[in-house]
Amino acid sequence: MKNKILYIITATVILLGQSCSKDELNVQNPNSPTPASAQTESGIEALGLGAVYQNGFNGISDSRYTGSWLGSDYFFLGPAYMDLLGDVISAEAANNITNQIGVPDYYIDDKGNTVSNTAPALGVARLNNSRTKAGSNMYFYEWAWMYYLNNACNGILAIVDGTTFSGDATTKKNTLKAWAYFWKGYAYSHIGSLYYAGLIKDNYVTTNNNFVSSAAMITAANANFDLAIAALGAVPTTADYNKVLAYLIPTPCQVGKGGLLTPTMWIHNINTMKARNLLVNKTVATMTSTDWNNVLTLANSGITSTDLVFTGRSSATNSWLSATSGSVAALTVGNPSSTTYKISERLIQDYKTGDKRFATNFSNANLYLNQKGGITYSTRYTLLDVASSSTAGTLGGVASKVVGNYELFIAGSYEENELMKAEANIMLSNIATGLTSVDNVRTYQGSGLAATSGVITDPALAYEELRKERRVGLLFRGLSFYDARRWGVITDIAQGGTGRKNCVVVSTTGTVNVNATINYHFLDYWDVPDDEISLNPPSANSAPVVNPKK
């Protein structure tokens, strides 16, 4: 008996010893693919899709930053800073300091009293440019999102040539290359158009510390756009091209203005982006006729009214874009007493009387008085959800929280391209041609406004039509800050800026001023975020990373 038991115990020990052989330690992560999984035809397509819509537009997942978010993904915050600084929207909540960075230094009310901001926005933004301030550092976001996008695209480029494809491999490779170069160009355009300096980083993961000026970033952006055009030029088989692109562009986005762009349409989109790069990175005052001619040349081969463009749409499930919190528009819809963003009175005053787009999109059912600081925040206007708007149709509608309703313009659009034509023509004294483009956009969006071409002949009045149409027609397309910058609106009046005159300001107690002057005084190009600088200090021969303006 004893021996039996001993044998049992001994056997147990030995058995256990056997079962614990080292082979059992070979536990790979069974849940996720490895980088090698991406180097197949289906793998690199999956990588191409994820690079843009996940790493790019949903890439920030660190709770230090996301913990204070009121929305989700890039399009609720990146473009919101543009519209806060461009005085299209305002915010009352302090999350991500959206309540402070868009407040002008002062306004002079109708009685001539100056109402000052005790916390000048430029200083607040810079005070928060510290890695330890995490979510409150406005400068971090656009930088991080765009470099995440850029890096993910570098990942595609790093393996595309070594990947084996079925069918027409050249077409498929070039489609993926065009995709990667296009989005790299997009990322560099955003960096160069907003930051005082940037990094040209074409490696996967590894970075460098040779910061270059914003102008050099734009040059690099255009170079990537040209590489995309070259790749698109080398796409002989449309079927295989469409097959890849149908994977890369999320299915829910392949409706409306979004869809499978032909190589020609895509090149049109690129030309519009290149025209934008030129237009928005100089002030109107410093644009030469050569510049305007270059803008015109690019815009003339830019997006047409029938071209498809890059759009975002929400879907009920597996959506990369939230219908209710994924865009500036979604977070502005509703009673301003409880929305994240509130419509600016200065946007509303840019609608011309009789513009159907105004009735489609706005009501004045709710008064919002901002009593918590933010001297220009109060508003009488509510942005409507076009799905629930009682007014005719959704033509020209700009916002909806209903799943799949809202069409987000990610890059260029027909309207933007047409208005660049308009502006170049007006500045080149082709007033009627220019205003025809303005009229085209108004017609396209169903404004119901009378034609101006041939009616208005004064260059200044023509330009005013253009200015208003850029504000109204390009609402929520991330361009308002660029415009305010190039028009001199955001520059401190004491430093030669124009500010904004004759404008509507509703005071914190509800007094409506109609002839106020606002001095915004914001930084034109942002300092490089401390989140980058403190971990990646600039090399000795780097361009300055801090804007010397004060």
Partner 1 sequence: MRKILTLLMCIVLGIAQLNAQSQTATGKVTDDKGAAVSGATVTEKGTKNGAATSSDGSFTLKVKQGATLVISSLGFETREVAAATVVNVQLATDVKVLSDVVVTGVGYATSKKKLPISVETIGGDKLAATSTTSVAQALVGKVAGAQITSKEGTPGAPLNILLRGINSLRGGTYPMILVDGVEVRATDLGTLDLNNVDRIEVVEGAASSTIYGAQGANGVIQVFTKRGKEGQTKIDFSTSYASSSFINSGNLHQATTHGFLTDANNNVVDKNGVILAIKPDGTLTSGVNINGQTQAGLVWASTNPNTDGSKLYDHNLKYYDHLAQLFQSAATINNSLSISGAAGKNDFAMTLTHNHQESVIRDNGALDRTNFSANVGTELFKGFKLRSITQLVYSKNNFNPYFTAGVSGTFFRALNTSPFFDFNWKDANGDYPYSLVATPVSVNGYNPNYYKEYVFGYDQTIDVIQNIQASYKVNHFLDLEAKYGINYENEQQNVTYKNQTQNINLISLSSAGIGYFNGKEGSIGNFEYNTTFQNALTTATLHLDLAKDFHVKVPIVSNTQVGYDYRKNVYKQYYTYGDGLGLYPIYNMQQTSTQTISSDYVRPFVTFGTYLSESLDWGNVAGIRGGFRSDYSSAFGSGSTPQTFYNGNAYFRISQLGFWDKLASVIPEFKLRGGYGEAGIQPGAFDRYVTLSTRTIGTNLAFYTPSVQSNPNLNVEVSRESEIGTDLTVNLSKGKWFSNATFSGTYWKRTSKDVIYQVDAPPSTGGAGYLTNSFSLSSNGVTFILNLNVVKTRDFNWDFTANFNHQSSQIDAISTGQPIVVTSGAGYGNYVLQAGSKIGQLYGLKTFHDVNQTKQDGSLYISQANVGKYQVVNGILVDTATRGIQFTNQNYSYGDPNPKFNMAFINNFSYKGISLSFQLDWVHGSHLYNQMKEWMYRDGIHGDYGNKITINGQTAAFSAFYTSAYADMFGSINGARNSIKDYFFEDASFLRLRNLSIGFDVLRYTKIKYFKKLQFVLTGRNLWTLTKYTGMDPETSSGTTNSGFDRGVDYATTPNNRTYQVGLNIGF
Query: Does position 32 bind partner 1 by CB under 8 A?
Result: yes
Tell me, what DSSP letter sits at residue 529?
A: P
3-state secondary structure 206-263: CCCCCEEEHHHHHHHHHHHHHHHHHHHHCCCCHHHHHHHHHHHCCHHHCCCCECCCCH
- Show contacts with partner 1 in window 374-433 (CB under 8 A): 374, 385, 388, 401, 403
CA dihedral 340, 343, 346, 348 (to 10 degrees): 170
Where in 40-79 is the site for partner 1 (CB under 8 A)?
A: 43, 45-47, 49-51, 53-55, 59-64, 67-68
Does the footprint of partner 1 cover residue 454 (CB under 8 A)? no
Applying CB under 8 A, among 5, 239, 460, 540 the residue interacting with partner 1 is: 5
> Which DSSP letter does residue 368 get?
B
Would you count residue 538 as binding partner 1 (CB under 8 A)? Answer: no
Name which of 334 and 478 has its Cβ closer to partner 1.
Answer: 334
- Enumerate residues 156-175 that contact partner 1 by CB under 8 A: none
Report how far residue 2's alpha carbon sits from residue 120's, in angstroms, rounded to the nearest whole number.
88
- B/e letters for 109-125, b = 16+ CB within 10 Å, e = fewer, are beeeeebebebbbbebb
CA distance 132 to 422: 45
Asked if residues 401 and 332 have their Cβ atoms less than 8 Å apart, the reply is no
Cβ of residue 221: shortest distance to partner 1, in angstroms? 15
Rule CB under 8 A: choose which of 261, 531, 545, 547 binds partner 1.
Answer: 531
Please list every residue from 234 through 273 that binds partner 1, using CB under 8 A: 247, 250-253
Site string for partner 1, 335-354 (x = CB under 8 A): x-xxx---------------
Buried b (16+ CB within 10 A) or exposed e, 280-290: bbeebeebeee
- Regarding 544 and contact with partner 1 (CB under 8 A), the answer is no
* Residue 488 interacting with partner 1 (CB under 8 A): no
Contact between 312 and 408 (Cβ < 8 Å):
yes
- Could you give the CA distance from residue 378 to residue 399 in angstroms, rounded to a whole number? 21
Give the separation between CA 35 and CA 541, rounded to whole angstroms.
Answer: 35
- Tell which one of 114, 166, 207, 495 touches partner 1 (CB under 8 A): 207
Q: Which is nearer to partner 1, 86 or 538 (CB)?
A: 538
Q: How far is the CB of 227 from partner 1 (least distance, A)?
A: 19
Contact indicator for 237, 168 with CB cutoff of 8 Å: yes
List 300, 304, 534, 539, residue binding partner 1 (CB under 8 A): 534
CB of 339 to partner 1, least distance (A): 8
CB of 266 to partner 1, least distance (A): 19
Task: Map residues 103-142 to x or -, x wherever contact with partner 1 holds by CB under 8 A.
Answer: ---------------xx----x--x--xxxxxxx---x--
Cα separation, 223 vs 56, whole angstroms: 20
The conformation of residue 322, written as its DSSP 8-state character, comes to: -
Closer residue to partner 1 in complex, CB, 12/305:
12
Handedness of CA 152, 156, 159, 165 (dihedral sign): positive
CB of 393 to partner 1, least distance (A): 19
Q: Which is nearer to partner 1, 269 or 314 (CB)?
A: 314
Scan residues 289-328 and list those touching partner 1 (CB under 8 A).
314-320, 322-325
